[in-house]
Amino acid sequence: MFRLSKAEERSRTVVSIDGQLSEDCAQVVETCCDQAMARGKPVRLLLRDVTAVDQAGRALLRRLAAKGIGLLAKGVYTSYVVRALSTAGAEPPQVIAPSPVKAHGNLPT
């Protein structure tokens, strides 16, 4: 499974990926990010619910980061992948923490 979505915000474009980032979808992701960059606003790639990243996916993330696309990670696995790929002197990746779970009912504190 793979899903790509794009959100145009006032100050930036966020491209989100869910599923597996593999060789099969790398070109689609790169094309989408390149098109977003052509609009002149900063672009962020959010690895939202990514379950696996193969070698082609890692190479893609390196290329996108080298182009100036910010990598955002949500979750332990993607945070690790993004940190491992970050290069010296590059902007550190932003890690998005999951929303806190609200307690319901009469649970002990």
Give bridge partners of residue 49 from the DSSP assignment: 18
Domains of the chain, each with CATH number or no CATH: 2-96 (3.30.750.24)
Tell me the whole-structure pTM to 2 decimals. 0.77
User: Residue 43: which H helix or E strand, with range?
Assistant: strand 43-53
**Strand, helix or coil for residue 30:** helix
Q: What is the crossing angle of helices 55-66 and 76-85, to 10°?
A: 60
pLDDT > 90: percent of the chain: 62
Cβ partners under 8 Å of residue 69, min gap 6: 33, 37, 43, 44, 45
Q: What is the pLDDT of residues 17-55, one digit of tens each?
A: 999 999 999 999 999 999 999 999 999 999 998 999 999
Summarize the confidence of residues 47-66 as an average pLDDT. Answer: 92
Nearest partner of 66 among 46, 37, 94, judged by Cα: 37
Looking at residue 108, what is its pLDDT?
46
Q: Pairing between strand 13-21 and 94-96?
A: unpaired
